[in-house]
A and B are shown apart, each in its own frame.
Chain A
Amino acid sequence: MLSDSDYRAVEDFLYREARLADEARYADWLALWTDDGVYWVPATTAPGVDPDRHLSHIYDNRARLDTRVKLLQTGHRHSQEPASRMRRLISNIEAREAEGGEVVAESNFLIAELAIQAKHEVHWWVGRATHRLRRVDGALRMSGKTVVLINAAEPLPNLSFLI
């Protein structure tokens, strides 16, 4: 059971992470990660899937996460030029202490993405995120973020923004 202040810190972190991603503040978002972070978006909603045997949409270690962000920063990632206009809502937060002094926070999200790169359509992205958070030099950092979309196994449009 987290203290109220710890819970509040987790909530603040999730809201800040969401805002940085929504606003395409790539460097600031990347700075939220630990060096051993793993960013995972499975291609299925089936529980217990092994990312070393099954294909994912994203399974980034820190090096690949850096590459992902660098691509966006070149200004030539056509699928995010210009960057999608996004706002995401986060709710149903459940946070608990985990091993190693980390906190695991699960939350539901709903993202409205205006994909303005071609058709100017709004795409809705809905799912549940699991953040693994660790205190580094007094501040919370992500050592893991897993995003399970409700339609993970369906045909998806471009997902080159930070989800």
Chain B
Amino acid sequence: MDYKALVQDDRIHASLYTDPRVFEDEMERIFHRGWVFVGHESEIPAPGEYVTRRIGREPVIMVRGKDGAVAVLVNRCMHRGTLVCTAERGSARTFACPYHGWTYDLGGALIGVPYPGGYAALDKRAHALTRPARVAAYRGFVFASLHPDGPTLAEHLGAATRLIDRSCDLAPGGEIELSAGWVKHHCDANWKMLPENDSDGYHLGFVHAALFKTVRTQYQRVLGDERTIKAVVRDWGGGHIEIDWSPGYETPFEWLGGVSGAAVADFVAALERRDGPGAARRRFMEGPAHALIFPNLFLGETNIAIVQPLTVEECVHWHTPMFLKGAPQLNGRLLRMAEAGMGPASFLMPEDLVIASRNQQGLQARTPEWLLLSRGLHREVVDDEGRTVSHVTDETTNRGFWHHFRTVMSEP
């Protein structure tokens, strides 16, 4: 596949969403070689706690060991390949394969092989559960790469760590906590439509017309007349892309549905104590990030979401509320906001995903072959930090995603 021909500066080819060969290449080049978000350390606070996930299609366990360190293990018995852990989450002292009883400790070391007389010489040390070649974390976000070579996590994230900081720094305790569990929303569309849609500021008034006609949200005032919109999109490089609503905000907490400071007084006091009133007020104005960390982590303002590819035309959108450590008063509100905004029964995402499904069907047309990617090309600018910035309705974010996609998919 010639990805340089399929992804052009102002258009992309429809087969990128529909061709199973492209999906296979993505599994290899993006989800096997690259850095992929696995989970957050706060999901497994105590030794022995684990969650099971997939990196691309590969099953893994993220587990906290006896020593408190977080490890990622490939969820596949060294003997015959069975999953050694089938629960979605839990607490364990060992992982025992149900097939022939091979047993591994929390670090993946093989500690038990029934009927050992069947092997002349089995070196248990050579049969530990395998681990992704590289695992690294930033502010509790655990990423893994199944390939030993390539950029470090720091190089992969680049300046986009500031997007993660923007969300985490809202927590008086400096950390987010993902403890509410995940809701998973099945999507009948190619996985790339989710990161593209999550960072598309153009669709809201149309896809979400029902909500806009029913309740007043922070987005209505921020959107409005094209010429007066102040919100922007940014391409941070490396496929990391952002919608920044905050230039359009006029009062604190618009990202929290416009609550009064009094309603979240403990949170306000805690952040003012830590940062001082001026810096705290800036955080209350700006709110958390709305950004995609390439390829599968979505910082969805007060939610954290994961994009999980399944097949070329199916994926799953996971979400959980982003609880803020040290803000118990706020977290109940964040929980109810998560239910309103995301998931199959929410007031926003069902519309996004039904449109994605119609998009996937429309792309079955062989002609025209191309999707436009040109919106805003004439008016985007590069800021003094090297980020490309444009009007919030522009496809600067889509281009940022696709241009990085082209780079990693074209590597030898």
Partner-B contacts on A (CB < 8 A): 41, 43-44, 52-59, 64, 67-68, 70-72, 74-80, 117-119, 153-160, 163
Contact = CB atoms under 8 A, between A and B. Distances in A.
Interface of B: 88, 179-186, 188, 207, 209-211, 213-215, 316, 320-321, 332, 335-336, 338-340, 343-345, 347, 350-351, 353-355, 357-358, 361
A144 to B, nearest CB: 17
A57 B347 contact: no
Nearest to A69: B214
A77 B351 contact: yes
A78 B361 contact: no
Given A67-B347, A78-B207, A43 B188 contact: no
A76 B213 CA distance: 9
A55 B213 contact: no
Contacts of A117: 354, 357
B353 A158 contact: yes
Given A44-B181, A58-B345, A159-B350, A119 B361 contact: yes
Given A118-B358, A119-B188, A160-B345, 10 more contacts: A44-B181, A52-B335, A55-B183, A57-B183, A71-B211, A71-B214, A78-B210, A78-B350, A79-B353, A163-B345
Given A67-B215, A78-B351, A78-B355, A154 B345 contact: no
A55 B181 contact: yes
A54 B347 contact: no
Contacts of A156: 184-186, 344
Among A56, A74, A158: residue with most chain B CB under 10 A: A158
Nearest to A70: B214
Contacts of A74: 209-210, 213-214
A77 B214 CA distance: 11
A63 to B, nearest CB: 10
Nearest to B321: A55
A21 to B, nearest CB: 13
Nearest to B183: A43
Contacts of B179: 53
B200 to A, nearest CB: 15
A-B pairs, 10 with minimum CB distance: A79-B350, A118-B357, A155-B184, A76-B210, A155-B186, A76-B209, A159-B344, A159-B345, A77-B210, A158-B350
Contacts of A80: 350
Contact of A53 (B180, B210, B338): B180
A54 B210 contact: no
A76 B206 CA distance: 9
Nearest to A156: B344
A58 B215 CA distance: 18
Nearest to A77: B210
A56 B273 CA distance: 33
B189 to A, nearest CB: 9
Contact of A157 (B186, B211, B213): B186
B118 to A, nearest CB: 38
Contacts of A163: 345
Name A's interface SS: loop
Contacts of B358: 118
Given A53-B180, A155-B185, A79 B339 contact: no
9 contacts: A43-B181, A43-B182, A55-B321, A55-B335, A56-B339, A70-B214, A76-B210, A77-B351, A118-B361
A74 to B, nearest CB: 4
B347 A71 contact: yes
A103 B210 CA distance: 35
A155 B316 contact: yes
A145 to B, nearest CB: 13
A160 B344 contact: yes
Contacts of A44: 181
A57 B343 contact: yes
Nearest to A46: B181
B340 A64 contact: yes
A56 B345 CA distance: 9
Nearest to B361: A118
A56 B336 CA distance: 9
Contacts of A57: 183, 339, 343-345
A154 to B, nearest CB: 7
Among B316, B335, B345: residue with most chain A CB under 10 A: B345
Contact of A55 (B180, B209, B215, B354): B180
A33 B88 CA distance: 35
B184 to A, nearest CB: 4
A48 to B, nearest CB: 14
B344 A158 contact: yes
Contacts of B316: 155
Contacts of B214: 67, 70-71, 74
Contacts of B215: 67
Nearest to A41: B345
Contacts of A160: 344-345, 350
B332 A55 contact: no
B209 to A, nearest CB: 4
A160 B210 CA distance: 12
A55 B338 contact: yes
B183 A78 contact: no
